[in-house]
Structure 1
Amino acid sequence: MNISELLKQKLLNDEIVKNSYNADDLERVSGILEEYLSSETIDEEVCYNFYKEMKLPYSIVYRSFGLIKEEIKDNEIKRKLNKLLNITAKVYIKKEISSLKTLLLQKQKHDFLLFKAHEEWIEKIVVSVKNDDLDSFPLVEAKNCKFKKYLSYLESLMICLDVNLCVYIHDLHNLIHTLANSFYIFYKRGYYAESYFVFRDLKEQILKFYNTLNELYMATFTNTEKSFFDLIEILVKSKTLFVAVIDLKNLKTMNSVFNENTVTNAKIVLFNKLHNLYKDKKNFLLIQGSSNDFYFIGTDIDFEIFQKEIDHIHDIICETIDINGEKINFDGAIFGIKLDKYTQIQIKDLINYFRFLKQAAKKEHKNIILNNKENHLEEWIKNQIDIKFIKEKIEKKEIDVMFQPIFNSKDNTVFSLEVLGRISDNGKLIPAGMFIDHIYAMNKIAEFDIVVLDKILEKEYLIKQITNRIFLNISFEALKNEKYIKKLYQVIKKIDVDIVLELTEQRFVENLELIEKIHKKNDTYFAVDDFGSGYSSILLVINLLRKNMIRVLKIDGTLVKGIKNDEYLKKAIKIIAGFRKEFDLNLVAEFVEDKETMDFLKESGVNLLQGFYLSMPKTIEELLIEKEERIREIVN
């Protein structure tokens, strides 16, 4: 039996490939095989017939020839068959390589940053293979890819709020580059059959990659406003942000004057102009919401630059747009605000604040309102908080307790935990500055502090796994309350953790006998908070030292916040550090928000550090998880 007859027999009897061939296909394949085996060379155009005329997948061609190779004993014929398969694979690759660009075009429906990252890379792969110019093949590791760079852009950060999907796409990205580089190696060495199967896998992973990207973008822009404000909530923990809402005014009037489609097309033109302004800038983001608003974020800039950008945006909004001869002139109102890690706010309050600014702009007939005033936002929110809501929370004992570590500056071990009472609203904690004044106004501070004490007892076992000492803020009003004093004494006696009571009010200075009584009855020690400010005078500390009632000083936070750019404050900190050494006190610096501040405080002799750079306030359970992770890192 000759080779062509053997091929026909094998193909007709194989369950996988027999349905891929008709009678003409069998004759054509046999003819190609006979022609090749009778000569020493093969024309690539002959192999192209498998692709063009019969449209057979390469996997079918590969299996077809594999079936007869099993029966052939002649090594020379086997060698020729392998060569035929290899050259055929090269033809298939060159004809299919352009499908990589097709994948990109199918998925890239918008000018989105992460879709653009691989345009040039894929184009170079296609061109280098089609032209047999492998010297121009883009050998790029995943870590050096544009996509990796773009992941730190604000647009990408907003897209990647779904952590699981983003981890998946990160892994896919690494795999794609590994496959592309493997394809290059096989193809360069002439192993075209192996190259083809790597190419098919590469194409499949690229498709998965773009499908996942598409899913991320769809999820993000299904509710653009939510995604935008979710991004703010994450960024504000570590960055200074300048955020603006851009409102197009009088659209109803414009729709009545012009055709609604004309106005809609003009809005598209306007957005593209604004989007193009920022699409390639890492620290800016401008997007269009589902309503008529645009949203803007700028990071790593100052207020002056923010102001210039907003003025530029407003100028663009006011430019005339021509839609089929119709002259469209938009008018916009822009409301902006500075946010940083000290801003204590819930997103729903920020949204309401922008609405407030919008109404203020209308009332004052202003097109731009940019708020750079310290604490203006917090003061506004404080005035919006429902006093009844706070009262109900206290009466129902629905108080959360957070803990912020205080670290030893020498070895970074936890010296103590500061206890912080908080109220939550729909799972989001409301910062103390937003509600504490209301609690005092309702005369509920003692009741609030009693709940905090109860929570400490509940968490005692967990607290002891981290530290044997806690700092507890006490109010003068609570110490005048018999119920609170009784509860405080019970907790001090019952709990197997030292409690350091923080004095934070002027009235303690005027009523030292009150805290002296607590000290004598419970052998309890105190910390003087805000040392270096008004009431926390050196004389107060001296009086407390004489009575052996004080162990800790906490530097006034405004001193620590300002030291980076103020040599006088730096000298003041060093003087305070010298004072603490002289009297053998512990000295805590709060508001440690960056490495530069931390390093200076360590060098100046401050022995205890506290601040967001070291740790945010967290639940005791979260702190325990972090402790276990650190232990695992040390062990491993």
Structure 2
Amino acid sequence: MDNCLRLISEEFTAQLNGNKYFSAFLNGENISIVTEKVYMFLDRALSSEFDESLREQAFNIGARHYHLDIPLLHVIEFLEHIEDNLAYSIENPNGMMCSYNLDNFGAIKSEISKAYLFEQVQNADFYNISLFTVYSTTNIVTSTISWMMDVNNRILSGDLEKGPELSHNACILSGHFSKPYFRMIFNRTDDERRFHEMHTGLHSTANSLFYFYDNQDYNKTYLLYCDLLEQCNSLLSFFYERILLFEQNKKNILLSLVEDKLSEGEDISLICLNVRNMAVINDVWGQENGDFVLNEVESVVDKIYGIYNENATYIRTSEGLFYIAVFAPRTEAQDSFERFAGLIDGMSVTKELLEINLRFICVFLPLSDSDSDYKGNLAYLTKQLLNKCKDDNEWKMLYERSDIEEQVARIEEKKRNNHYIIQSFDADKIFPFYHTIFSSKTGEVEHVEVLARVCDDKTCMNAGIFIDYLIATDRITELDRKILHRVAEDLEVLGEHVNRVFINMNPKSLQSDDYLKTFEWFNRLAREKEVEAVFEITEQALFRNVNIVRALHMKYGVKFAIDDFGTGYSNFNIVSEMARNELINYIKIDGSLIKNILESPEGFHIVEGISSIAQKLNLKTVAEFVANREILETIRRVGIDNAQGFYLSQPAPLEKLTFEGKL
């Protein structure tokens, strides 16, 4: 007598043989052999009591299908197809042998689903979640991963005591929501709301999952677990996106948070920390060791102001600056600052055989909501106060309200100046002033230096006030071009009185085609007027652009002067090479050396050495910032060729300039 299960299996085998999609899952195995094994298992499982050995066999079949990447849905549909056909055959045997216990189908499907669930849990590697390594150090992520691991342990062990916290209000992750760090990352309300919704969704799915798990409905449990994994990935991916956006703009985000809290009347203090010798560390020990140093410093910052601090948060910028916001009364914030300063005072970092001593600048700013001038000024304010601390030769400063008000007033003045500069610049109110340069030997005026001024009918603003702003706004090359056009109008008169005109050049202009066209035109005109143009460029800029300078000299025959020489690279090998090739013919000694030459023996010897080397290289020297008779006599004594300074003359427009000897 034919067996109805055998007949159903053969029919199903024929269907599978024609299904390319299903055949792909079996990786080339013979479908007939596979279905024969399934028939033998079902024949036994449906003909007797479903004992432990049958449960184990069903579980193993489920595990095998899982690793063949056959979706559980297909396996369940296959079993239900067999079950439906068997039920029909039992009611309509047609002479076939068909005595099977269909109740065992439920147990079979349950064990196979359980196998899928356990395999999925055991193969869920959270540390390989896409992009996880980028933010593996953040507590928000580790809290989420820890919670998912608790879900896994609860499923695999069946132990209710090992379960995760199912209330979204009580889990570890929710504890971060009120902290300043979280508010910085999710600084937009809609993003914060979306993260909360995703977090709540995780807990809702987990509650449903364990309801079905405890009722041994492993099919629904498996489907919910897959959904939970997807939700977890979505939450972490969304968090990663927010981290990326935060990292790109974290300084502004932190300062914006501080401004918002100030406007709400909260007590806030801002702490700024800078590793003062960071540039030296990077240059001497390398960028990798520099990053190691900053990581060690951050570990100390994190100890006091990290994510577990309910009232503080911090960021580290790409320049190695740390900004720390403390949302607490001043006394409490100041106490924490003193503890922090005690930890970093005298700090050194050791890596293998390397020991690096660190020098810090650290400032404490108590802020108040009473002054709206903070709005938009905090970044510049902190920069100015750090510089003030450095200029005062202090490593730690607690600034008072009066100090901050003074800096805010300066910021407002600078804003007004910048506005005035742009208006004047656009109105073409840029004019050359000339500063006479005297021969130290004869006392006669030999040369002039061109100094840019912004002027209206009442006042003139010197370049020291506006140069940095023009550099920051990428208009410095435009200034250099305007000055060349203005000086060109004065060349004929200048040629009657001086040999050379010294003109400052910003290194950015060397990269500008428009400037170089003006540069070529100006030099041709200067030669026609029999005036030698000498272009001043700082030693750092000159050494970094030596190939461009060499090309300009070869093409136009122009010569250069090294400006501010003696405090930067001071690479005499390069200077010697340039002198031999006649690229340079003047060295202008840095003004800080000349100003302090009477009080500083070291400075005196440096100037003396520069003069001696310059003479051997057939280079002329100019001492700037000659402020009195004593300095003048000193530079004469060491052999400096030319003198320039307010003791000798004041910069003036051409019509007010005098060319009479003074010395």
One-letter identity of the residue aligned with 1:243 = L
What displacement does 1:272 show? 2.6
Going from structure 1 to structure 2, the CA distance change for 1:51 and 1:178 (only over 3 Å counts) comes to same
Number of aligned residues: 393
Larger Rg: 2
Going from structure 1 to structure 2, the CA distance change for 1:282 and 1:9 (only over 3 Å counts) comes to farther
Do the aligned residues in 1 keep the contact of 2:25 with 2:69 (CA within 8 Å)? no
Going from structure 1 to structure 2, the CA distance change for 1:328 and 1:291 (only over 3 Å counts) comes to same
Q: 2:115 aligns with which of 70, 86, 91?
A: 91
**What pairs up with 1:206-225 in 2 under 5 angstroms?**
206-225=232-251
Q: 2:380 aligns with which of 352, 373, 391?
A: 352
Name the CA distance, whole Å, in 1 between partners of 2:39 and 2:357: 71
Is 1:38 equivalent to 2:47 in the alignment? yes
Q: 2:357 aligns with which of 301, 323, 329?
A: 329
Is 1:171 equivalent to 2:207 in the alignment? no
Do the aligned residues in 2 keep the contact of 1:244 with 1:295 (CA within 8 Å)? yes
Name the CA distance, whole Å, in 2 between partners of 1:15 and 1:43: 30
Q: Secondary structure at the match of 1:142?
A: coil
| Structure 1, gaps ≥5 residues long | 394-636
**What pairs up with 1:131-146 in 2 under 5 angstroms?**
131-146=157-172
Name the CA distance, whole Å, in 1 between partners of 2:44 and 2:359: 75
TM-score by length of 1: 0.56
Name the CA distance, whole Å, in 2 between partners of 1:110 and 1:343: 40
Q: Secondary structure at the match of 1:294?
A: strand
**What pairs up with 1:448-463 in 2 under 5 angstroms?**
none
What displacement does 1:357 show? 0.7
What displacement does 1:99 show? 4.6
Is 1:50 equivalent to 2:62 in the alignment? yes
Going from structure 1 to structure 2, the CA distance change for 1:327 and 1:391 (only over 3 Å counts) comes to closer
Name the CA distance, whole Å, in 1 between partners of 2:14 and 2:105: 17
Going from structure 1 to structure 2, the CA distance change for 1:314 and 1:334 (only over 3 Å counts) comes to farther
**What pairs up with 1:72-151 in 2 under 5 angstroms?**
72-73=86-87, 77-100=101-124, 102=126, 107=132, 109-151=135-177
TM-score by length of 2: 0.54
Name the CA distance, whole Å, in 1 between partners of 2:389 and 2:421: 34
Aligned to 1:5: 10
**What pairs up with 1:343-492 in 2 under 5 angstroms?**
343-345=371-373, 347-373=375-401, 376=405, 378-386=408-416, 389=419
What displacement does 1:202 show? 1.0
Q: Secondary structure at the match of 2:373?
A: coil
Q: Secondary structure at the match of 2:252?
A: helix
Do the aligned residues in 2 keep the contact of 1:183 with 1:198 (CA within 8 Å)? yes
Name the CA distance, whole Å, in 1 between partners of 2:81 and 2:23: 12
| Structure 2, gaps ≥5 residues long | 92-99, 424-663
Going from structure 1 to structure 2, the CA distance change for 1:200 and 1:335 (only over 3 Å counts) comes to same
One-letter identity of the residue aligned with 2:42 = L
What displacement does 1:289 show? 1.0
Aligned to 2:263: 237
Name the CA distance, whole Å, in 1 between partners of 2:332 and 2:126: 45
Do the aligned residues in 2 keep the contact of 1:11 with 1:64 (CA within 8 Å)? no
Going from structure 1 to structure 2, the CA distance change for 1:137 and 1:101 (only over 3 Å counts) comes to farther
Going from structure 1 to structure 2, the CA distance change for 1:183 and 1:55 (only over 3 Å counts) comes to same
What displacement does 1:19 show? 3.9
Q: 1:250 aligns with which of 277, 285, 289?
A: 277
Structure 1 residues 481-536: Cα deviation after superposition (integer angstroms, max 9, x where no partner): xxxxxxxxxxxxxxxxxxxxxxxxxxxxxxxxxxxxxxxxxxxxxxxxxxxxxxxx
One-letter identity of the residue aligned with 1:366 = E
One-letter identity of the residue aligned with 1:345 = D
The range that moved more, 85-94 or 135-144, is: 135-144
Aligned to 2:185: 159
One-letter identity of the residue aligned with 1:5 = E
Q: Secondary structure at the match of 2:372?
A: coil
Name the CA distance, whole Å, in 2 between partners of 1:389 and 1:266: 41
Going from structure 1 to structure 2, the CA distance change for 1:119 and 1:388 (only over 3 Å counts) comes to closer
Is 1:318 equivalent to 2:346 in the alignment? yes
Q: 2:228 aligns with which of 192, 202, 206?
A: 202
Aligned to 2:25: 20
Task: Say what the alpha-carbon RMSD is for the aligned residues.
Answer: 3.0
Do the aligned residues in 1 keep the contact of 2:269 with 2:327 (CA within 8 Å)? yes
Aligned to 1:444: none
What displacement does 1:140 show? 1.9
Aligned to 2:78: 64
Going from structure 1 to structure 2, the CA distance change for 1:257 and 1:391 (only over 3 Å counts) comes to closer
Do the aligned residues in 1 keep the contact of 2:377 with 2:408 (CA within 8 Å)? no
Q: Secondary structure at the match of 2:361?
A: strand
One-letter identity of the residue aligned with 1:370 = L
Structure 1 residues 55-100: Cα deviation after superposition (integer angstroms, max 9, x where no partner): 4332332232233334332596543222211111112212222455
Do the aligned residues in 2 keep the contact of 1:101 with 1:122 (CA within 8 Å)? no
Name the CA distance, whole Å, in 1 between partners of 2:248 and 2:36: 55
Going from structure 1 to structure 2, the CA distance change for 1:329 and 1:250 (only over 3 Å counts) comes to same
Q: 1:275 aligns with which of 284, 302, 307?
A: 302
Q: Equivalent pairs: percent with the same residue?
A: 16
Name the CA distance, whole Å, in 2 between partners of 1:45 and 1:341: 72
One-letter identity of the residue aligned with 2:416 = D
Name the CA distance, whole Å, in 2 between partners of 1:306 and 1:30: 78
One-letter identity of the residue aligned with 1:334 = C
Structure 1 residues 275-306: Cα deviation after superposition (integer angstroms, max 9, x where no partner): 24423112111221111111111112323532
Name the CA distance, whole Å, in 2 between partners of 1:50 and 1:25: 13
Structure 1 residues 393-420: Cα deviation after superposition (integer angstroms, max 9, x where no partner): 9xxxxxxxxxxxxxxxxxxxxxxxxxxx
